């Protein structure tokens, strides 16, 4: 069992996990409306989620064009700045509107977690 987990597999597609995250985002919208929460929290999470995925798409396209070491370094730096940018935006919102930030963090975390779970299932569900 342990040996099968260490064998490399091809990278699965990103479309299904991204669609799963989109479904979580869409499910969260009626919940926000029914619970009477501030819809701006959901909108902030949706904008951040779409922005991160757009940046991922741009990075994936840049990486396929050139497979050299410099492109990999740029990709890693972009991933770092993407994560830091997301945290900076969320911390700025937390300091000014804590309730708004709470809703945004909950929705974004749910979509991200579901997307990660689908990605792991796709990766480990493949035959090595």
Give the residue extent of every domain in the chain. Answer: 13-125
Predicted model pTM? 0.82
Q: What is the spatial distance between Cα 40 and Cα 36, in angstroms, rounded to a whole number?
A: 11
Half-sphere exposure of 84 (CA within 13 A, CB side): 6
Q: What mean pLDDT do residues 71-95 have?
A: 85
pLDDT value, residue 50: 94
Q: Which two tokens stand for residue 2?
A: 């342990």
Q: What mean pLDDT do residues 86-98 have?
A: 91
10, 61, 68, 118 alpha-carbon torsion, rounded to 10°: -30
pLDDT value, residue 64: 65
Residues 6+ apart with CB under 8 A from 12: 119, 122, 123, 126
Mean confidence (pLDDT) of the chain: 86
Q: Which residue bears the tokens 């050139």? A: 66
Judged by DSSP in three states, 23 sits in helix
């Amino acid at each position: 069992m342990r040996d099968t987990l260490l064998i490399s597999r091809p990278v699965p597609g990103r479309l299904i996990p991204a669609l799963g995250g989109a479904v979580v985002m869409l499910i969260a919208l009626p919940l926000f409306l029914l619970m009477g929460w501030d819809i701006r929290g959901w909108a902030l999470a949706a904008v951040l989620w779409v922005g991160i995925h757009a940046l991922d798409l741009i990075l994936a396209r840049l990486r396929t064009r050139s497979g050299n070491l410099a492109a990999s370094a740029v990709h890693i730096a972009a991933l770092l700045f993407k994560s830091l940018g997301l945290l900076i935006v969320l911390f700025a919102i937390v300091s000014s509107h804590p309730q708004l930030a709470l809703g945004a963090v909950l929705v974004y975390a749910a979509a991200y977690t579901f997307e990660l779970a689908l990605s792991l299932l796709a990766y480990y569900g493949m035959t090595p």
